[in-house]
Amino acid sequence: MPTVAELAALVGGDCSSDAASVEIHGLAALDAAAAGEISFFSNPRYAADLRTTAASAVLVPHDFVGETPAACIRVDNPSSAFAAITAALLNSPQAPPPGIHPSAVVYQGAEVAPDASVGASAVIMPGAKVGARTVVMAGSYVGADARLGADCLLHPHAVLREQCLLGDRVILHPGVVVGSDGFGYDTRDGRHHKIAQSGIVVVGNDVEIGANTTIDRARFGRTVIGEGTKIDNLVMIAHNVVIGKHCIICAQVGIAGSAQIGNYVVLAGQAGIVGHIKIGDGAIVGAQSGVSNDIEPKSLVVGSPPRPAGQWKRSIVRIDRLGELYDRVKKLEKKLGVG
């Protein structure tokens, strides 16, 4: 097991504690850690947990001045350092060996790289291409003429529909569907008639897509997920949406058709984005916000309709006072003999 001092060296941290030689065998939150485990502190709301933690070591910022019984490892970014130590301490799941499982179905005309892996009951349709070192796990489906780049990982029961494209190092978690039909209908003579969805989805390099997220193929052209974007579980992205590079899309966000999301945008949990609008680079949309108009770059907006965060907070305070103000007005009306 590595010692506190060795882990400090791993993350470029400073540790001058007498406990530097203590061995670390696990990781835990501050309030759940035990002797021999390491945790991290980066949010002041957990200061009380830090003062009482049983962890043997805690990653803290360089300017930390509080109290804790644990050995402190001072680092630039405790959360990032904790992630690095997690990767070092935990054994990564064993990658399946290259090759095609006997129960998998790889149709004639599909191309699977010799060092790729196709798991049990997976299906690779004609014309599909699976890139070098890519892993398609059990029960996953790769549609006709779809493309997977190098070092991709499709967890069990992920679906990549026909003609859709994944870049390199893309991760699809269980239940992800890339390339489902967009939600498009014409209503004629009292009935809803399906509109053919002839486009595709293009996913850039280093994108990760959380479990049970769905990304619709374009009605025509492309639905695009930009390089480095990270998408949480249970997100819905409609047809012809374009998402830029390095965005963060949190759980249960819904993005309607043809919306354009810039680079480095953050959409917090359960935000809803209507179709055909633009959200500028670097904007942050707060949780449960309903966005119906364009958002300027680098804005921080909250609410429905969304407003600048400071304005929204002031509005909430005023709403909370409405009952009090109503009572005051009624008293004034009674005093004045009106109302």
Whether 101 sits among the annotated catalytic residues: the reply is no
CA distances from 250 to 66, 78, 223 (A): 32, 22, 19
Separation between Cα atoms, residue 213 and residue 232, nearest integer Å? 8
| H or E stretch at 180 | strand 177-180
Q: Give ∠ CA 143-171-119 in degrees, rounded to 5.
A: 55
CA nearest neighbour of 165 among 124, 196, 201? 201
Residues forming a β-bridge with 177: 159, 214
Name the active-site residue from 62, 239, 246, 276: 239
At position 289, the amino acid (one-letter code) is: S
Separation between Cα atoms, residue 287 and residue 258, nearest integer Å? 21
* Burial tier of 134 (Cβ tally within 10 Å: 0-12, 13-18, 19+): buried
CA distances from 245 to 103, 145, 211, 215, 284 (A): 37, 25, 20, 16, 14
- Active site amino acids: 239
